[in-house]
Amino acid sequence: MGSASGTPAAPASPTGRTAPVRPGPRRRVAAALHRHAGVRLSLLLSAPLAWLGVAYLGALAALFVTAFWSTDSFTGDLVRTFTWANFHDVVTIEVYRTVALRSLGVAAAVTLIDMVIAFPMAFAMAKVASPRAQRWLVIAVLTPLWASYLVKAYAWRVMLSSDGLLGWGYGLTATVLTLSYLWLPYMILPIYAGLERLPDSLLDAAGDLGARGWRTFRTVVWPLTFPAIVAGSVFTFSLSLGDYIAVKIVGGKSQLIGNVVYDNIGAANNLPFAAAVATIPVVIMLVYLAAVRRTGALENL
Amino acid sequence: MNLSRTARLALRLALALGLGVIYVPLGIVLLNSFNSDRTFAWPPTGFTTRWWSTAWSSSGVRDALWTSVQAGAGATAIALVLGTMAAFAVQRHRFFGRDAVSLLIVLPIALPGIVTGIALNNAFRTILEPFGVGLGLFTVIVGHATFCVVTVHNNVLARLRRTGLNLEEASADLGADTFTTFRLVTFPMMRSALLAGGLLAFALSFDEVVVTYFTAGAQNTLPLLIFGYIRLGQQLPIVNAIAFAMIVLTVIPVVLAQRLMRDTGVLRRGGTAALIAK
């Protein structure tokens, strides 16, 4: 915004009055805001920061602090004294290590399956389909993404039940399948967006220089779309790690980190331990985000 | 493009198969909502519209639907205000910690939902309960607004990047003050971006269950009602009908938002988070 707008210029107005009109309070506030970018910025940031920075981050921090407390085993009340016991239990008790590793395995399997399915689909959308078809394809992929998460998990429950269409039964495999299905569009979209930004001329150049399909893929397409693929994997990984509902619906008896947290909040009423367990996916995600930061994946989110 | 015919055919086939995999389960839900057999054994045997009429006349379903609509409207309103403010701050100003602010806005959807859920649950119970405010519609709205901000923010940000400052400078040069410029120039420019972001925020809130579970208390939203039915194995035929109705109810705002977003350039920039924030 360029010139100062606080006071109108002095020259005579059409009505013939020469004295500049003294600006009203609204105009003065507007002028002050206009001149002081810092004030403007603080006002703009105030509410979002109060909400997300203070309330949300505060809640997360409070949760983390709770992880160092314990509950009284008789009354179930919080005991607000510092202890490492929860983290000690999480690390040393066999069950939790198994659950953590299993969750990590499920998240990795889901990410891999989605990558393998999503890439050819995204490639066909971005580089084979006509521009007109592309628009419809994006909508076709996006729309079911918004169709209720529960409905989709439930659809798989119906299909996998012993007399359903597939009839494979429930368990860890069913969980991996269902999660892969749920998060597939989250993988397709970033890869599609990445491929759309990849100029066709590069592929043509690779062809002109004698590269066949596979070589073009390995030396041109893959390196340039890698950040987009990683961006997709951030979604599939994080969403799989935090899930407890799909597991409840199709997982049979198997447990993931999410269920342990859920059970400790509900049945066991042990918030400190739930908080300690919940730090596992957070730490994994933070490590993952830090590891992929250098690929430029986060700009693709 | 130097793709062989076989490669093209294979890619098209992969796309068709993939879309098939995406849509078949949804089709089955629709089919089963008309299936007269309560066990949904495959293939379906008889046709009935009984489940639809039962779902329609159930007061529990209607109450839950109304709660979901209220929660969605409240969360969307808050997200529109906060998201727009944050987008203006991030796009129009250079300041220390700008990247941190961007990260903060994405954080509620980047962290596993259950973490956000129990953190909010813990905070609400410690802070609000002494004031006599229990978990309910209010806390659901607060929770939803937290992760809805990002959809509005990303849409407005994309729009601001594309439009630049020229028109607003022209308006200022012509003597309009900050408020008038906002009312006559900036706001009309952003209207469709706000609408798209708002619609997505509403759809996101309408369908959310992970965080809602921990913030709703005794209040039932539509997804919580369905989750309860599925978990207890009750009313499953009705679930199919509600579930399909929910797909339609969620998809309408998304398709509308899609049409509006075509010109905000969100997708082209790779702003997947704006589209699929969850």
What is the residue extent of each domain of chain A?
27-67, 94-300
Closest CA to B206 of B223, B229, B194, B218: B223
**Interface test with chain B among A68, A128, A146, by most B beta carbons within 10 Å:** A146
User: Could you say which residues from 51 to 80 on chain A have a Cβ atom under 8 Å away from some Cβ of chain B?
Assistant: 51-53, 55-60, 62-63, 66
User: So where are chain B's domains?
Assistant: 60-277
Question: In this predicted complex, what is the ipTM?
Answer: 0.79
- Test the A interface: residue of B272, B275, B278 with most A CBs within 10 Å: B272
Distance from CA of A253 to the nearest CA of B (A): 14
Could you tell me the pTM of the whole model? 0.81
Q: Model confidence at B74, in pLDDT bands (50, 70, 90)? A: very high
Residues of B in contact with A242 (CB under 8 A): 111-115, 210
CATH architecture entry for A94-300: Orthogonal Bundle (1.10)
Range B60-277 has CATH code 1.10.3720.10: yes
Position A73 confidence tier, pLDDT thresholds 50, 70, 90: confident
* pLDDT, mean of residues A36-43: 85
Q: Any CB–CB contact under 8 A between A125 and chain B?
A: yes
State which of A126-130, B33-37, B233-237 shows the largest mean pLDDT.
A126-130
Q: Which of A15-24, A120-129, B15-24 has the lowest mean pLDDT?
A: A15-24
Q: What's the mean per-residue pLDDT of chain B? A: 82
At what angle are helices B236-261 and A131-146 packed, to 10 degrees? 140
- Residue B178: the pLDDT is 84
Å between B26 CA and nearest CA of chain A: 7
pLDDT above 70 for A4:
no
Min Cα–Cα distance to chain B from A103, Å:
13
A296 touches chain B (CB under 8 A): no
